[in-house]
Amino acid sequence: MQNELKIALLQSDLFWENPEQNRVHFTKKFEDISDAVDLIVLPEMFTSGFTMNPEKVAETMYGETVVWMQEIALKKQTAIVGSTVISENGCFYNRLLFVHPNGIIETYDKKHTFTLAGEDKVYTAGQSKLLVTYKGWKICPLICYDLRFPVWARNVEDYDVLIYVANWPKVRVAAWVALLKARAIENMSYCVGVNRVGVDGNGHEYSGHTAVYDVFGHQLDTIQENQEAIEIITLSKSHIKTYREKLNFLNDKDVFTLE
C-alpha cells in the first residue's frame, strides 16, 4: 500500500471536434510534467470537447486515442484518466478510460447523460460504477453531470478518492464548486474535479475551477480560473484513515438500493 498518491491536474482548452490536434496538444502538456506522478487527470471528452456530433469524433477501443494513452502511460509510468467518445456495438458512449502504467484499461460509461444538451439522445448511458484499485488506493472516477447526483457517488465502497472529469460551463460554475466540496465532505474522501477552459464550438465558455478537496472540504490546489494550468497535488492515505477513525461519520450512512 502506498501512503501518498501524487496526481497531476491538467486544466486545458480543447480543440473542437479534432482528436488528432488534441492528442498533439496533450502530448506537449505531458512533456511539461517533469516530476514523477502516479496519476494524470484530463477533462471530459478531452479529444473533442463536449460535442453532440459523436459520429465526427468517435473511435473504438482499438483506435488511436486508446493506443496513444497506453503509450504515454507506459512511457511516463503513470496512470491516465479522462473521457472520450467511443463507438461500440452500434452505440456511442461518453466513456471514461482509466489507463494503468502497464496498459491495462478500466472503463466507466457516463450514467447521467446531460439532457439539457441532448446528450441522452445521442449517447448510451452506462449502468455501473467503476472502482479502481491502484497502488493500494480505491478510486471512484465519474463524469461531469454525475456530480449533481449524490446517491450515485455515495461512498458505500469505502473509496479514498472521488474524481470528476468535466466540461462544466462558466455560467453554472458556482454549482461545480459547491458540489465538489459537498461530495468530499459527505463521503469523507478526497474529491478531485478537473474541468476545461476556453470556448467550445457551440459558443459555451468554460472557466476551469479545477480543484481538489480533502475530507473536510478544504481546497488543496491553487489553480487559477480561465487559464491553462498543470498542478501536482499529493494526497495522503493517513489523512483519510485518521479522520474516518476519529469521526466515524461513514459508519452512520444510510443503507439503500439503486433502481
Classify the C-alpha dihedral 153-82-128-233 as positive or negative: negative
SS3 percent helix, strand, coil of the chain, rounded to 5, is 30, 30, 40
> Is 110 an active-site residue?
yes
Q: Which three cell numbers stand for residue 90?
A: 452500434
**Order of strands across the sheet with 161-166?**
132-134, 137-143, 161-166, 190-195, 211-213
Q: Of 44, 59, 106, 119, which one is the catalytic site residue?
A: 44
Task: Find the farthest-apart pair of alpha carbons in the chain and give their distance in angstroms, rounded.
Answer: 51
Q: Of 144, 186, 191, 237, which one is the catalytic site residue?
A: 144
Rounded to 5 degrees, what angle do the CA atoms 72, 64, 169 make?
A: 80
> Is 56 an active-site residue?
no
Q: How far apart are CA 41 and CA 26, in angstroms?
A: 11
> Is 17 an active-site residue?
no
Q: What are the CA-CA distances from residue 153 to residues 29, 60, 83, 84, 129 (Å)?
A: 30, 27, 17, 21, 9
Pairing verdict, β 161-166 and 190-195:
parallel
Q: Of 110, 129, 181, 237, which one is the catalytic site residue?
A: 110
Could you tell me how many residues make up the chain? Answer: 259
Query: Active-site residue numbers?
Result: 44, 110, 144
